Amino acid sequence: MRAVAAVAGSVMDVESKPEIVVEQDSQMLSDFVYTAVRDAIIQGRYGAGERLRERDIAAELNVSRVPIRAALPRLEAAGFARILPRRTAVVTHITVRDVEELYDLRSVLEPLIAQTAARRVAAGISAAKLNAAWQAADEALGRSDYVALNTSNAQLHHEIAALANNALLDRTLEPLTERSNRLNAVTISSDPTTRHGEHTALVSAIVDGHLELARASAYTHVELGRQRTLAALPSHPHYSAL
């Protein structure tokens, strides 16, 4: 009996591993599809109102329809797509109301995140990664590399959130960050020096552990960003005045 049990146990172990691998592979494929379609939308390769046909995406990305169907609800949650009946999805438009709603939430959340990050730095948590992100942005601005600047700015905000170390805030902020990235792809060249100056003030306040200054700097940055975004919005390929 012991021998049978040992063999049975080994069979169960062997059989359980492929299930884990399949689950991991499925998640990786879903992530891959999500990222590929999201980037195509941000870069304008999918136009607003354009259908995201499963068969076309499957052929382009060389995947089955299963990870596509897993990725579409995530794209909808992040504001990139709208799922219609019968699993048809279309790329969303961007309206003034969308921007106002986004910045209304950012103006509440980001000052809290900045203040929490400053508190943790004041308590002794290293801000080296935040400094590195700011330095990368500074260098990108110096050579007028707006693609790298956009990437570095996104990393800068990521490091502020990482310093805050609040998992619930991270999950709340994720869909807002994706919406912001979609807008930033067009607005990044709109007065980048001023935007970098705002980031400099924000990072300095956090690194110096000034809680209220960090909060105020984040709020100012968000509200100035709202003005820039609304001014540049009509030039966005996904903009709709309706």
- State the Cα–Cα distance between residues 242 and 97, nearest whole angstrom: 9
Phi–psi pair at 49, nearest 5 degrees: 85, -10
Segment 164-175, tens digit of pLDDT: 999 999 999 989
Model pLDDT, residue 23: 53
CA contacts within 13 A on the Cβ side of 6:
3
Token code pair at residue 40: 């195509």
Model pLDDT, residue 180: 92
Helix axes 146-164, 128-142, angle to 10 degrees: 170
Cβ contacts of 125 within 8 Å, gap of 6 or more: 163, 165
CA trace torsion 180, 184, 187, 192 (10° rounding): 110
Give the SS3 label for residue 241.
Answer: coil
> Tens of pLDDT along the chain (242 residues)?
333 333 334 333 434 444 444 455 888 999 999 999 999 999 889 999 999 999 999 999 999 999 999 999 999 999 999 999 877 899 999 999 999 999 999 999 999 999 999 999 999 999 999 999 999 999 999 999 988 998 999 999 999 999 999 999 999 998 999 999 898 877 777 789 999 999 999 999 999 999 999 999 999 999 999 999 999 999 898 999 97
Model pLDDT, residue 3: 38
Instruction: Decide: 171 and 141 in contact? Cβ < 8 Å.
Output: no
Segment 100-158, tens digit of pLDDT: 999 999 999 999 999 999 999 999 999 999 999 999 999 999 999 988 998 999 999 99
Model pLDDT, residue 24: 56
Token code pair at residue 124: 């002794």
Cα separations in angstroms, 241 against 98, 99, 161, 182: 11, 12, 33, 17
CA–centroid distance for 84 within its chain: 24
Residue type, 88: T
Instruction: Decide: 181 and 229 in contact? Cβ < 8 Å.
Output: no
- State the Cα–Cα distance between residues 231 and 98, nearest whole angstrom: 14
Radius of gyration of the chain measured on its C-alpha atoms: 22
pTM metric for this prediction: 0.83
